[in-house]
C-alpha cells in the first residue's frame, strides 16, 4: 500500500495482559491514496520498535507499507480513537512481518501530496462557526463537525 500520511497519534504504553509487569506500546496513523479512500493503520509491539517506527515518518510523508495484516474494524470501538474512514477494514503492522518505508522526494507522486489538504468528511456534513453561533440553542448537546480555519497562533 502506498499513500500519504494524513494523521498520526503519539506513542502510548499499556500494561501487557499476557506478560504481567511488562508493557506493550502502540501508535496509529491514517494514510490516503485517493480523494475518496483512506484507512487507519495500527501498530503494537515492544517500545523500541514502536518508537523507532513512529519517529521514521511524519504527517505529510508518503509511505509504502509492505505485508500489513488486513482486519475488519469494530466501528463503534475503533472510531472513538481513530478518524472515521470509508473502509470497513484497518491495517495492522507486525514487527516480525510488516515494513514501512518512507518514499523519497523524487519517488513521491504530486497527486498524493495534493490529498493532504482534502477534508476527510463529506462537505455537506459541516457546520460553520456562524451556524453554531446563530443556532447554538438548537444544537445544544449534539456532536458536530466544524469547518474553520486558523487565522493565527500566538
| pLDDT tens digits, one per residue of 107-152 | 666 777 778 777 777 777 788 888 888 887 888 887 778 877 788 8
Would you say residue 141 lies in a domain? no
Would you say residue 124 lies in a domain? no
Would you say residue 30 lies in a domain? yes
> Greatest CA span in the chain, whole angstroms?
54
Residue 15 is predicted with a pLDDT of 84
Residue 107 is predicted with a pLDDT of 61
Q: Which residues span the domain enclosing 35?
A: 2-115
Residue 124 is predicted with a pLDDT of 77
Low-confidence ranges of the chain (pLDDT < 70): 75-81, 105-109
The closest of 90, 7, 12, 88 to 44, measured between CA atoms, is: 12
Strands 38-45 and 89-93: parallel
Cell of 79: 472510531
Would you say residue 24 lies in a domain? yes
Would you say residue 46 lies in a domain? yes
CATH number at residue 103: 2.40.50.140
Residue 42 is predicted with a pLDDT of 94
Q: Where do we find the cell 500520511?
A: 5
Would you say residue 111 lies in a domain? yes
CA-to-CA distance for 41 and 31, rounded, in angstroms?
Answer: 8
Q: How many CB atoms are closer than 10 A to CB 98?
A: 18
Would you say residue 43 lies in a domain? yes
DSSP string, the chain: -EEEEEEEPPPEEEE-SSSTT-EEEEEEEEEESSSS-EEEEEEEE-HHHHHHHHHT--TT-EEEEESPEEEE--HHHHHHHS---SSSEEEEE-TTT-EEEEPPTTT--HHHHHGGGS-SS-TTS-B-HHHHHHTHHHHTT----B--------
Structural domains counted in the chain: 1
Residue 108 is predicted with a pLDDT of 64
Amino acid at each position: 500500500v502506498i499513500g500519504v500520511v494524513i494523521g498520526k497519534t503519539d506513542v502510548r504504553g499499556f500494561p501487557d495482559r499476557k506478560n504481567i509487569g511488562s508493557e506493550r506500546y502502540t501508535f496509529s496513523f491514517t494514510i490516503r491514496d485517493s480523494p475518496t479512500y483512506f484507512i487507519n493503520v495500527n501498530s503494537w509491539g515492544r517500545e523500541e520498535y514502536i518508537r523507532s517506527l513512529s519517529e521514521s515518518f511524519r504527517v505529510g510523508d508518503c509511505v509504502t507499507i509492505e505485508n500489513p495484516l488486513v482486519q475488519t474494524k469494530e466501528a463503534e470501538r475503533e472510531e472513538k480513537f481513530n478518524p472515521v474512514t470509508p473502509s470497513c477494514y484497518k491495517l495492522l503492522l507486525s514487527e516480525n512481518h510488516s515494513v514501512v518505508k518512507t518514499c523519497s522526494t523524487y519517488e513521491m507522486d504530486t497527486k498524493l501530496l495534493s490529498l493532504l489538504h482534502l477534508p476527510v468528511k463529506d462537505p455537506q456534513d459541516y457546520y460553520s462557526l456562524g451556524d453554531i453561533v446563530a443556532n447554538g440553542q438548537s444544537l445544544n448537546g449534539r456532536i458536530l463537525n466544524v469547518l474553520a480555519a486558523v487565522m493565527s497562533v500566538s
